[in-house]
Structure 1
Amino acid sequence: MTSSLETTIQESSAEALKRNSRFLRGTLETELSSGEPGFTPDAQQLLKPHGFYQQKDRDRKGDPANPPVLMVRGRIPGGRLSPSQYLAWDRIADRFGDGSIRLTTRQSIELHRLHKGNAKAALQSLHKALLSTKGACGDVVRNVTEAPNPWGRADIAQLDGIADAFALHFAAHSGAYNEIWLDGERVDPDSESEPLLGTAYLPRKFKIAFTVAGENLVDLYTNDLGFAATFDPAGLLDGFFVFAGGGMGMTHNDATTFPRIADLFGWISADQLLPVAEAVVGAQRDHGNRADRKRARLKYLIASKGLAWFRTEVESRWGGAFEERELPPWRTSPVLGWIPRADGTWALGFHVESGRIADRPGFPLKSALRDIVEDFRLDIQITPDQDLILLGILDEDRADIEDILEARGVDPHSPSKLRDRALACPALPFCGLAITEAERVLPEVLDQLEAALERHNLARRGIVFRMTGCANGCARPYSAELALAGQAPGRYALYAGGSEEGDRLAFEVTQKIALADLPRVFSHLIGAWRAGGDAAFGDFAARVGAERLRAVMEEP
């Protein structure tokens, strides 16, 4: 048994807080009705597994009339929503948030600027639409992602039930969510247990993704645990390739932290899926770093213990063995625009810049989507690239939908190939970790990169570009072909060399580039790319390396 002294040494304060929280209750219920505008620091940590982050408007720093606000995030397995569920998010955004809906890179929805006094009403409204925020944040298994399926493919559709089942199976068992937010039946915490997650829950967040072998629209390699499904000759799911140890977060200039892409451990039969997943989660629960949160993700456990150790640990817990099979090559199929579906209906993929659905002057995207979903009762899938797909459109309704969009001035298509897959995190003003801008400057940065592409006659070529306001990597910059990660106010570290398919890690090229220098930097990089042949930008960058790219960028 671990002594109290050893526990003090081996566990961070966050671990003690979780362990003593009475299964995520803490003082949340008391503070919720206290009349204070915000939650205490300890309560803020316990809010996360319930789906909330407390934030401040950093544009109004020092303003005494600047109360704390909340961001709430949904648990939406595979990003799939019924018409009534999407419309519930739309209404709640208007009633309790800032009126906008933010699509996330994990196929979820965030609402911003909620006030504490409205938090309970917001969650109860979501609950009425069979929606939940439980497990959307915090040291638990996060929203389970799944390959988008605008085509209505039967193989991808077989993952729907699996993603839903995983979301429920790996959710916290605690009754705290129902008690605090939904006025549910009270349960004595002493009678509760968390057989999968443990009394202190996981050391850090844990991300799971599903796709089909050969299709990597979920950015599989950036997840703690990823499964790529295989199928028998009859088209029935027969197994999975298993990947583990991916993760994007790091700290600038701290070599003990790093982004990492997941390792392929082998193939398993379909009936072994849940035992293998439980074994991987259990290994991280029992062996993950609980002393240093910067090194608490699964990727650090695998990096420190080694692949052989981790394989043995998982196989021992599972009672099976991974099988070696050849992995098919990856692709990333386009999901935007009009796409015919297998059942004779259509899908319409909307490009949503930075995932922000709002009504802006001349571009009322939010109300246009609301009216279309309401009038035509369309299902929806959010993509891992922060876009949105309308599903099941009847052939006879296409023209009516196009007329609605044209009348509103809303074009669902991306303005350019570059923008198809460009991502940015929210960053300032609300993210407490942001060092500098991301979402708010992305349009300007993309304009500059597009200008460089046009200057070198490469406007028809796309680059997977991503931008974050800090090094934590929420927009997956370190698997992009070209990326900027915030390093200081107005300055960014530049990364290059990831792949279009998401199976290669980008590398740091240089640090602290000012926004004002980006037009020159982009022009030099794109010029060198054009002179370097026909390869994709990421392949070109990986071939020539950081030193050559730095030299190119420093040219007058």
Structure 2
Amino acid sequence: MVEKSIDRSRDRSQAVSQLNSNEQLKAGSRYLRGSISEGLEDRSTRAVSHDDTLLMKFHGIYMQDDRDQRAERQRRKLEPNHQFMVRLRLPGGIASTGQWLGLDALARRFAERGLRITTRQTIQLHGIRKPQLRACMQAIRDIGLDTIAACGDDSRGVICGFNPSSANVQREVASLARQTSQLLIPKTGAYREIWYGENPPYREQNEDPHYGETYLPRKFKVGYALPPSNDIDVYGQDLGFIAIADGDDLQGFNVVVGGGMGQLDTRDDSYPRLAELIGYVAAERAPDLALTIMGIQRDYGDRVDRHRARFKYTLDRLGMDNFNALLQERWGEALAPAKPYHFTHNGDRPGWQQDSEGLWHATLNIANGRVDGALQDQLQGFAQSFPGYIKLTTNQNLILAGIEPDLVETVQWRLDDLGLLPRLSATLQSAYSMACVALPTCGLAMAESERIMPELLQRFESTKARHGLDEVPITLRITGCPNGCARPYIAEIALTGRAPGLYNLYLGGGFHGERLNRLHASNVSIDQCFALIEPLLARFAAERNGSEHFGDFLLRSGLTTAIKHGSDPQRMIPVVEDKP
């Protein structure tokens, strides 16, 4: 048997005491119950226990505090200003207008910072207080949504790209994304018990048959891409499905495995990785294949060293030949050979698009995905009479979808009346730029990201304009730490936070998300980043070949080097050794 011939990093019967602390916590949590219910009732603190904060992630909830207030509250001997972020499970990013209005209403009732569209095309609510958590979760249920597995060591929300050239293919792939999400979520009764007050029977054994009592070693991300658009960055997914269609007929999917964007700058054995193409599967079998591959990660992922627990490291430890043999054994047959495909763009197309069935879709630019203040009011007013549905994108924008041709003019007028029309024609560069949340609420952030993105984007657009590059899209991403939530390591230009005001600058990723970038300079300020980037943009403008992309130009010109694997030591050797 192939499974017996592979040297596993751990045996599933390994004593719990030998595993890392997160694994021990999960094993003793009674399928994610812990003491969450008791902690919610404790009025002596705004927080819950450390162990329960980890378990609540599986329920889609993070405990945070306002880091802008942390030092002052500590000086006054007050506990941190604890609050909670609630992330929804929204497969494919699709919501009805009724659900959008429901989300708007509960954000106004429970959250302190409106709605935020995430890089995995769902919604986060920030600033919810502990006494309101149960009511908030029940309000989410009442509009037909939930938050299970939006965080935690499980299959995260399944994402799905957007390509209106075939409405039928788009519809089928979106349906498969929903099926995959439903198949892969935890089945524990803890969620309904804690948040809805239900009393499902507790089964000490096998309550979560696909996961077991320790669930996955780390998060597992699944995405569906629809060529020619790679708007979901499919090579950054643990498991990616690339749609193969014949006109309006969905045939199946090419399968890629092992992508992941996170890294720790403090460990040489920590790196981002691009997913690898392993074969082709018929369309209707994709959800079951996802379950099979997730099961391999469940059984072979590292449960001792949590920093090496992602699927990308599992594959590198097993080796792709061994993984493919193991997959064939569990799946019952080898995957078919991959079929030809190509990507032509990354990011969201702004403005109006018509699909193959005549329906129209309009992309609204939402800076950093933040919907609050006047914009929240505008979208609330619009949704009250909108005849289509809402689709969120992995680039944090919002698509008004499914508009009948005879209603386009009415929708256009309504957008104009509410002041939303300019968002249909946002700048080209904004469609290819992204920032993570970072400060003040993310506990991992070391530098600013979302709050400085508007100024950074404006400055970058001005710099491009000076060199006649206004209409040339360049993927630009910034994160407050190295963990990669905004998928920085495949961008043509990326900044990752190192300390307040300091960043690592990476250059040379593939415009279609198909190539990793390389560290260009470390621990540099925003001003220093621009001092390094501008001469390269000047050369790009002067020496560009036709429609060549910036990352490709840097590679062709020898200004960076091709990185075949994230573990390549060259990737983290700065091209510029000293600060400018």
Query: Where on the TM-score scale, by shorter chain, does this alignment land: which range?
Result: over 0.9
What's 2:35 paired with?
A: 27
Q: Is 2:470 the counterpart of 1:456?
A: no
Which is further off, 319-328 or 127-136?
Answer: 319-328
* Aligned CA distance change for structure 1 residues 550 and 287 (closer, same or farther; 3 Å): closer
What's 1:505 paired with?
A: 516
| Structure 1 position 555, deviation (Å) | 10
Structure 2 portions without partners, runs of 5+: 1-9, 562-572
Paired residue type of 2:388: L
| Structure 1 position 419, deviation (Å) | 0.9
**Cα pair 1:495 1:510 within 8 Å, conserved:** yes
**Cα pair 2:507 2:560 within 8 Å, conserved:** no
What per-residue deviation string (whole Å, max 9, x for no partner) do you get for residues 236-277 of structure 1? 333211110000000114210000010000112335424422
| Structure 1 position 404, deviation (Å) | 3.7
Q: Supply the distance in 2 between the matched residues of 1:257 and 1:551 (Cα, whole angstroms).
A: 20
What per-residue deviation string (whole Å, max 9, x for no partner) do you get for residues 208-246 of structure 1? 01123443121111000011122357x433321111000
What per-residue deviation string (whole Å, max 9, x for no partner) do you get for residues 369-390 of structure 1? 1111111243010011111001
| Structure 1 position 509, deviation (Å) | 1.3
Q: Is 2:210 the counterpart of 1:199?
A: no
Paired residue type of 1:390: L
What per-residue deviation string (whole Å, max 9, x for no partner) do you get for residues 158-212 of structure 1? 1122111111111101000000001122322415422212210000000001123
What's 2:334 paired with?
A: 321
**Cα pair 2:444 2:481 within 8 Å, conserved:** yes
* Aligned CA distance change for structure 1 residues 419 and 330 (closer, same or farther; 3 Å): same
Which is further off, 311-320 or 469-478?
Answer: 311-320
**Within-5 A mapping of 1:290-369:** 290-332=303-345, 334-359=348-373, 364-369=374-379
What secondary structure, in the 3-state scheme, does the structure 2 residue paired with 1:413 have?
A: helix
Q: Supply the distance in 2 between the matched residues of 1:412 and 1:164 (Cα, whole angstroms).
A: 29
What secondary structure, in the 3-state scheme, does the structure 2 residue paired with 1:368 have?
A: helix
Q: Supply the distance in 2 between the matched residues of 1:317 and 1:456 (Cα, whole angstroms).
A: 55
| Structure 1 position 490, deviation (Å) | 0.7
| Structure 1 position 121, deviation (Å) | 0.5
**Cα pair 2:349 2:431 within 8 Å, conserved:** no
What secondary structure, in the 3-state scheme, does the structure 2 residue paired with 1:205 have?
A: coil
Q: Is 2:249 the counterpart of 1:236?
A: yes
* Aligned CA distance change for structure 1 residues 551 and 193 (closer, same or farther; 3 Å): closer
Matching residue within 491, 506, 515 for 2:502: 491
What's 1:405 paired with?
A: 415
CA RMSD of aligned residues (A): 2.3
What secondary structure, in the 3-state scheme, does the structure 2 residue paired with 1:58 have?
A: coil
Structure 1 portions without partners, runs of 5+: none
What's 1:154 paired with?
A: 168
What's 1:260 paired with?
A: 273
| Structure 1 position 366, deviation (Å) | 1.5
**Cα pair 2:495 2:503 within 8 Å, conserved:** yes
Paired residue type of 1:344: G
**Within-5 A mapping of 1:84-483:** 84-150=98-164, 153-190=167-204, 192-232=206-246, 235-332=248-345, 334-359=348-373, 364-410=374-420, 411-483=422-494
* Aligned CA distance change for structure 1 residues 321 and 117 (closer, same or farther; 3 Å): same
Paired residue type of 1:51: G
| Structure 1 position 136, deviation (Å) | 0.3
What's 1:514 paired with?
A: 525
| Structure 1 position 546, deviation (Å) | 5.5
Q: Supply the distance in 2 between the matched residues of 1:492 and 1:543 (Cα, whole angstroms).
A: 26
What's 1:38 paired with?
A: 47
* Aligned CA distance change for structure 1 residues 132 and 518 (closer, same or farther; 3 Å): same
TM-score, with length taken from structure 1: 0.94
**Cα pair 2:222 2:238 within 8 Å, conserved:** yes
| Structure 1 position 396, deviation (Å) | 4.2
**Cα pair 1:212 1:228 within 8 Å, conserved:** yes
Which is further off, 488-497 or 180-189?
Answer: 180-189
What secondary structure, in the 3-state scheme, does the structure 1 residue paired with 2:423 have?
A: coil
* Aligned CA distance change for structure 1 residues 150 and 112 (closer, same or farther; 3 Å): farther
TM-score, with length taken from structure 2: 0.90
Which is further off, 274-283 or 81-90?
Answer: 274-283
What's 1:61 paired with?
A: 70
Sequence identity (%): 35
Count of aligned positions? 550
**Cα pair 1:448 1:522 within 8 Å, conserved:** no
Q: Supply the distance in 2 between the matched residues of 1:542 and 1:8 (Cα, whole angstroms).
A: 48
| Structure 1 position 355, deviation (Å) | 0.7
Q: Supply the distance in 2 between the matched residues of 1:414 and 1:289 (Cα, whole angstroms).
A: 47
Q: Supply the distance in 2 between the matched residues of 1:294 and 1:105 (Cα, whole angstroms).
A: 22
| Structure 1 position 422, deviation (Å) | 0.6
* Aligned CA distance change for structure 1 residues 474 and 134 (closer, same or farther; 3 Å): same
**Cα pair 1:368 1:404 within 8 Å, conserved:** no
What per-residue deviation string (whole Å, max 9, x for no partner) do you get for residues 88-130 of structure 1? 1111111100141110111110010000111111110010111
**Cα pair 2:88 2:123 within 8 Å, conserved:** yes
